[in-house]
Amino acid sequence: MATTSNHLTKPFLPSLSLSSKKLSPSSAFSVSIPNRVPQRLYIICSASSGISSKPTILVAEKLGEAGITLLKQHANVECLYNLTPEELESKSSLIDALIVRSATKVTREVFESARGRLKVVGRAGVGIDNVDLGAATEFGCLVVNAPTANTVAAAEHGIALLTAMARNIAQADKSIKDGKWQRNKYVGVSLVGKTLAVMGFGKVGSEVARRAKGLGMHVIAHDPYAPADRARAIGAELVSFDEAVATADFISLHMPLTPATAKILNDESFAKMKKGVRIVNVARGGVIDEDALVRALDSGIVAQAALDVFTVEPPPADSKLVQHERVTVTPHLGASTMEAQEGVAIEIAEAVIGALQGELAATAVNAPMVPAEVLTELKPYVVLAEKLGRLAVQLVGGGSGVKTVKVSYASARGPDDLDTRLLRAMITKGLIEPISDVFVNLVNADYTAKQRGLRITEERINLDGAPENPLDFIQVRIANVESKFASALSESGEVTVVGRVKDGIPHLTKVGSFEVDVSMEGSLILCRQVDQPGMIGKVGSILGEENVNVSFMSVGRTAPRKQAVMAIGVDEPPSKECLKRIGEIPAIEEFVYLKL
């Protein structure tokens, strides 16, 4: 993964390097030998992670057939259910992606044991509380979910539990099967005109609200982050937590399990409720303090509860809550309809395959989501960003340590039209990977930079003109370092490289103060010399004799016959002997070989 750079510098160079700081470029000319290698985006997976052939995907829980079929078109698929935690850990270094539902705990140990191979975790459903997101991010593993395909199923299950609870369906069913006929015991309550508090007004919550309105209920909702107009459109009123729990006849829970929502229904909140309230939970068991719910049932505050989810699944057989006469339970069936499972399976298969192919998933949970059309437009700039980072760091010399990097984006677009998170992540990747064995991607770029004490500051250069392209150029500067190629230091003393995208191909357009123009493919030789006739020919013929193909050549100079920097793109890495011969050309004052 880490690339190497060789560098040969003539002994008298330090003094020259100082003077070169004062030079200002005048012009650049280039000899172009087109070499259009298609660029692939490895935003999540590295080209060297062994995923270039067919990736291996472990499906650890039952997934709809349509999803499995889709996965098999692109990957080796293993379906292994009910693995123990240890079995999952031992599998993780043999797989590129893992697909789970809610029953599999994807722990830190799973990521640690993966030794960098596991690059995508697909959660075939919504809730990602069973995946250690912090650990996934640290290890550069993308987590994607399937957030839409089971919404209706979960909402329908919520309504099913609500109505079944109100009319004692489960209890009456059991009683009749036990040979009894208890018409007086199972008198229910009506829903019409009653107040339902929907806690968590997201996708499922709003579908539940819509259906409850159809049943003639008065719907209120609590969700600190939901827009009021969405609630209004459904005919629900957004209220505070206290108002919701205090006024509701029925409470239906639809928020995710997070540190903020854990045990959000507890002794204190039950004490605020109307006596005889009824509770539905199709969200997560952990949002209710289950012992407190048993107490509230026993004291009569809560008349009934209908639960699809539990803190521990399956719950212990002797669970007081599950065994409670006024509690109706289902074994986490919210998403379990034929339709939802087929939909979820396809949604997650597409997301996982896309991510393995280096695309950004629209349902990424621990990485910025970049809309597909923006990504298409940014693609060549993403490649440029990584290569500029890669190049800049290879120009650093003298063991100075890279700590401060300044990135400038020159664009004629408005600030809101340019999302630089992806570009920053790729610059970080380029900066860190050549000097370490850390794998960096969009997921862990910021985390890895922080860990290494690397501070990346960004600024925009606002240009006038038509903003057809998202960016005009990107400049990367590394401050407070020495350079192994003194000409790479700009007047401010920073290692500076600038690049542009031309015809979809990233080009290096400036090194230090020297304007060049070389396509950023293969490898690069930078030479500084006194501008004079025959230099291109001399270097070119050495490379030719050594069978190294030149793809691009460009010379930037301060003035005719003064200092010049020659940038030479090469397809094959030159041998040490070849580089030595270039270094021996008398007019060449310093040169460096860089891998892009």
Ligand X SMILES: O=C(O)C(=O)COP(=O)(O)O
Which of residues 335 and 474 has its CB atom nearest to ligand X in the complex?
A: 335
Could you tell me how many residues of this chain bind ligand NAI (CB under 6 A)? 32
Q: Which span (83-91, 167-175, 334-342, 565-573) binds ligand X, by CB under 6 A? A: 334-342
Q: Which of 268, 313, 459, 584 is catalytic?
A: 313
* Least Cβ distance, residue 153 to ligand X (angstroms): 9
Q: CA 311 to CA 170: how far, in whole Å?
A: 22
Residues 94-113 that bind ligand NAI (CB under 6 A): none
Distance CA 556, CA 534 (A): 15
Which of 41, 159, 164 has the alpha carbon at shortest distance from 426? 41
Q: Which of 77, 162, 220, 335 binds ligand X (CB under 6 A)?
A: 335
The answer to whether 255 contacts ligand NAI (rule: CB under 6 A) is: yes
455 close to 56: Cβ distance less than 8 angstroms? no
Q: Does 286 bind ligand NAI (CB under 6 A)?
A: no
Does 313 qualify as catalytic in the annotation? yes
β-sheet bridge partners, residue 458? 407
DSSP per residue, 242-297: HHHHHH-SEEEE-----TTTTT-BSHHHHHHSPTTEEEEE-S-GGGB-HHHHHHHH
Residue entry with tokens 């004799």: 545
Q: Does 363 bind ligand NAI (CB under 6 A)?
A: no
**Which of 58, 141, 335, 405 is close enough to bind ligand NAI by CB under 6 A?**
335
Task: Kindly tell me which of 264 and 407 has the beta carbon lying closer to ligand NAI.
Answer: 264
Instruction: Identify what 204 binds: ligand X, ligand NAI, none; CB under 5 to 8 Å per kind.
Output: ligand NAI
284 is catalytic: yes
CB of 336 to ligand NAI, least distance (A): 7
Name residues contacting ligand X, limited to 69-128 (CB under 6 A): 101-103, 124-127
Distance between CA atoms of 436 and 511, rounded to whole angstroms?
24
Residue with Cβ nearer ligand X (102 or 411): 102
Give the Cβ contact number of residue 186 at 10 Å.
14
Residue 208 CB, nearest approach to ligand NAI (Å): 9
Which of 53, 179, 214, 260 is the binder for ligand NAI (CB under 6 A)?
A: 260
What string of DSSP letters covers 149-198?
TTHHHHHHHHHHHHHHHHTTHHHHHHHHHTT---TTTT-----TT-EEEE
- Coil, strand or helix at 568: strand
Q: Specify whether 324 is catalytic.
A: no
In angstroms, how far apart are the furthest CA atoms of the chain? 107
Pick from 64, 67, 202, 470: which binds ligand NAI (CB under 6 A)? 202
Task: For tokens 């930078």, name the residue.
Answer: 526
- Using CB distances below 5 to 8 A depending on partner kind, what does residue 118 bind out of ligand X, ligand NAI, none? none
Residue 334's closest CA among 165, 190, 149?
149
User: With binding defined as CB under 6 A, does residue 63 bind ligand X?
Assistant: no
Residue 271: left if φ>0, alpha if ψ -120 to 50, beta else—which one?
alpha
- Supply the minimum distance, in Å, between the C-beta of residue 91 and ligand X: 19
**Residues 145-164 contacting ligand X, CB under 6 A:** 150
Quick note: the x/- pattern for ligand X over 288-327, rule CB under 6 A, is: ----------------------------------------
Question: Rounded to an integer, what distance in angstroms lies between the CA atom of residue 438 and that of residue 521?
Answer: 23
Q: Name every residue whose Cβ is closer than 8 Å to that of residue 328 and which is 6 or more positions away in sequence.
A: 161, 164, 165, 169, 170, 171, 304, 305, 306, 307
Residues contributing to the site for ligand X (CB under 6 A): 101-103, 124-127, 150, 332, 334-336
Binding region for ligand NAI (CB under 6 A): 126-127, 147, 150-151, 154, 199-205, 222-226, 254-257, 260-261, 282-284, 308-309, 332, 334-335
